[in-house]
Chain A
Amino acid sequence: LVGAPACGDVMKLQVEVDENGKIVDARFKTFGCGSAIASSSLATEWVKGKTVDEALKIKNTDIAKELCLPPVKLHCSMLAEDAIKAALADYKLKQDPNKEESEKKA
């Protein structure tokens, strides 16, 4: 769960990671402008099927380029990148090697 203080947008990204460290499902909920919603939607699509380490490589610039975000909305893609990182950091923190599947939120 992340927020952008400059514009007051909030973004929630949830990931489901299997025992192999692969992201099998992801969900988002964003309250904010269209660019913020689009950025989190794209981030959700992109992390699916990736490993945790691969997902951590996703950069806000990739998101912004794919969506052709105007300069004034670049911070939305940054928020999405931060949401991915926060979700995965949370997963790593709670990681229990005995569990087969863990559902982590950010």
Chain B
Amino acid sequence: FCPGCRALQPPGPRPDLFRLMDCDRSFRIDAQQLQRRFRSLQRAVHPDRFGQRPLKEQCYSEQHSSLINKAYQTLLNPLSRGLYLLELNGVEPAQETDSADPVFLTEIMEINEKLAEPENEDILEEIETLIKVKQEELTKEVTAAFERDDLQEAKKLLAKMKYFANLEDKLKNKKIPS
């Protein structure tokens, strides 16, 4: 906001999402604090509060509000938070085909197969638990990697998390009655 006339200004170019959400640039975050910050920011800039303002400000309000949504979603989810941190540190996320860890890929393949053709309801529950456990494990490992500044290890672990995130999505779709 402009200090003089209190009119809403446009968001700056290439904003740092951590700074925007008032969080330290680290993998560990306080989810409660993030949510509080998200809500208080939206209270200030949400388009609903700019209905009577000039069009330019309405436009800026939309931009701010979208940006805050994006920042919140990115930082809330461990996978996206990790990938964003890598990006900020100039490390590109894993792009090349993975053929190095056949044991891991086989495990992913098997879970996918079970999910595609579950023998019974219980299998779905088992898979759900397995995915959750694996994601928690990986999140802990990623936290440790970032803490000792081992970005290459974090990159590898985040790649593994991606496979489990996909499985999580597929599982959610399975549970929705069609």
Which A residues lie at the B interface, using CB under 8 A?
1-10, 12, 29, 31, 75, 78-79, 82, 86, 106
Residue B108, interface by CB 8 Å: yes
Contact B105 A5 (CB under 8 A): no
Chain B, interface residues (CB within 8 Å), range = 20 to 34
Residue B102, interface by CB 8 Å: yes
Residue B95, interface by CB 8 Å: yes
List CB contacts (< 8 Å) of B106-144 with chain A.
Answer: 106, 108-109, 112-113, 116
Residues of B within 8 A of A2 (CB): 97-99, 105
State in angstroms the CA–CA spacing of A4 and B105 once bound together: 10
Checking B95, B109, B116 against A5 with a beta-carbon cut-off of 8 angstroms, the contacting residue is B95
List CB contacts (< 8 Å) of B138-178 with chain A.
Answer: 159, 162-163, 165-166
Checking B99, B106, B112 against A31 with a beta-carbon cut-off of 8 angstroms, the contacting residue is B112
State in angstroms the CA–CA spacing of A6 and B99 once bound together: 13
Contact B105 A1 (CB under 8 A): yes
State in angstroms the CA–CA spacing of A78 and B99 once bound together: 13
Residues of A within 8 A of B105 (CB): 1-3, 10
Residues of A within 8 A of B96 (CB): 5
Contact B97 A4 (CB under 8 A): yes
Residue B20, interface by CB 8 Å: no
- Please name the residue on chain B nearest to A32 by beta carbon: B166
List CB contacts (< 8 Å) of B78-96 with chain A.
Answer: 93-96
State in angstroms the CA–CA spacing of A21 and B113 once bound together: 31
Residues of A within 8 A of B116 (CB): 31
State in angstroms the CA–CA spacing of A29 and B117 once bound together: 13
Contact A4 B98 (CB under 8 A): yes
Residues of A within 8 A of B95 (CB): 5-6, 75
Could you list 27 examples of A-B contacts with CB < 8 Å? A1-B109, A2-B97, A3-B97, A3-B99, A3-B105, A3-B163, A5-B94, A5-B98, A5-B159, A6-B93, A6-B162, A7-B162, A8-B162, A9-B166, A10-B109, A10-B163, A29-B109, A31-B109, A31-B112, A31-B116, A31-B166, A75-B95, A78-B97, A79-B97, A82-B97, A82-B99, A106-B99
